[in-house]
Amino acid sequence: MAFLMKTMISNQVKNLGLGGGSEEKKEEGGASDPAAAHGMSREEYEEYQKQIIEEKMERDAAFTQKKAERACLRVHLREKYRLPKSEMDENQIQMAGDDVDLPEDLRKMVDEDQEEEEDKDSILGQLQNLQNMDLDAIKEKAQATFSEIKQTAEQKCAVM
């Protein structure tokens, strides 16, 4: 119990800076070099720092590229649906170097959608839609709707 109290009190005193830890501070003062603190030589530490900076630059470049691809997708969708342009998206594309395209899988999806829309918009596509219609079912549904409306009107209106 006495040991526990002593360690708790000495830790609190060390944290306050009132002494008790001056021997440890002197020992730590000799290792002010960051390379020695990491257990490396100076050359190894510099190489390590260069490697970290290069990796960070690669990550930033990949992130910028992804942001530009997303912006390109948004621009494409805005053009497709005739929405107003966004200045922020255009700036992101320019920051990436203007060599940004849609990712391959999205490009395939967009191309398929465009082909389907072109087929539907063509005269042949309209004719195929006419052939696929069930005119009898449409006629029956129209007559049923008309009779329902007529019946509702007769219930609500005393003149009819």
Statement: residue 79 has pLDDT above 90 = no
DSSP codes, the chain? -HHHHHHHHHHHHHHHTSSS-HHHHHHHHTT-SHHHHTT--HHHHHHHHHHHHHHHHHHHHHHHHHHHHHHHHHHHHHHHTTPPP-HHHHHHHHHTTS-----HHHHHHHHHHHHHHHHHHSHHHHHHHHHH--HHHHHHHHHHHHHHHHHHHHHH-S--
Would you state the pLDDT for residue 42?
86
> Is 65 in contact with 100 (CB distance < 8 Å)?
yes
Q: Which residue has the higher pLDDT, 119 or 66?
A: 66
pLDDT per position as a tens digit, 89-103? 888 888 887 677 777
pLDDT per position as a tens digit, 21-34? 444 444 444 446 77
Measured CA distances, 68 to 16, 41, 95 (Å): 51, 41, 8
Q: How does residue 13 score in pLDDT terms, banded at 50, 70 and 90?
A: low
Q: Which residue has the higher pLDDT, 160 or 95?
A: 95
Would you state the pLDDT for residue 49?
92
pTM greater than 0.85 (yes/no): no
Cα 4 to chain center, whole Å?
Answer: 52
Would you state the pLDDT for residue 54?
96
Residue 72, class by beta-carbon neighbours within 10 Å (0-12 exposed, 13-18 middle, 19+ buried)?
Answer: buried
> Angle at CA 142, nearest 5°, toward 140 and 148?
100
Q: How far apart are CA 134 and CA 2, in angstroms?
A: 94
Q: Which residue has the higher pLDDT, 93 or 51?
A: 51
Statement: residue 60 has pLDDT above 90 = yes
Q: Which residue has the higher pLDDT, 56 or 134?
A: 56
pLDDT per position as a tens digit, 105-150? 777 887 787 777 776 666 666 666 666 667 777 788 889 998 998 8
Please state the rounded mean pLDDT for residues 34-57: 88
